[in-house]
Amino acid sequence: MDNLIDFQALVNSAAAAKEKAHCPYSNFRVGAAVLTEDKKIFGGCNVENASYGVGICAERTAIVKAVSEGHKKIIACAVSTDMDEIIAPCGMCRQALREFGPGMTIACANKDGKYQTFTMDELLPKSFGPEHLGK
C-alpha cells in the first residue's frame, strides 16, 4: 500500500500546515497531515495555550479535523518541524494516530523537507488499541 502513497505531497501538506502554528511559548512549530483511506488529506498545526495543558499537537489537530469530517480510517501521516534532524511524533500523538490507523506509515520531515518513514509498529511497538477492550 505504501507504494501508492505520495509521501512527498503529504510532507508538503504538513510543511504548509506548520506555517499556521500558534506556538508563542515554545517557538517549536509543527505541522502534520493525515491521509485517509479515501485519499483525503487533512492538515493540522500545533496550537499552544498560556495554560500549557490546553494546547494540542499538530498530529492530533489533523486527526480531529479528519474525524470531525467523518473520516476514521487513516492510512498515512506526515509530520514537519523546523529542526535539522528528523523528529518523530510524541508518545501521546503516536497513541492517537494508532487509534485511527494501526497499520499506517508515518513520514517525519526536517526543516528542509527530507523525510524518513516509519511504520506504526516501529514507533509504538506492542501498542494498545480498541481491540484490547473486549468489544
The residues that bridge with 115 in the sheet, in sequence order, are 109
- Cell matching residue 45: 498545526
Catalytic annotation, pick one of 19, 37, 48, 59: 59
Whether 59 is a known active-site residue: answer yes
Residue 8: closest CA among 80, 91, 88 = 80
What is the distance of C-alpha 46 from the center of its chain?
10
| CB 70, CB 38: distance < 8 Å | no
The helix/strand/coil state of 9 is helix
Cα–Cα distance for residue pair 20/87, rounded to 1 Å: 19
- Which residues participate in catalysis according to the annotation? 59
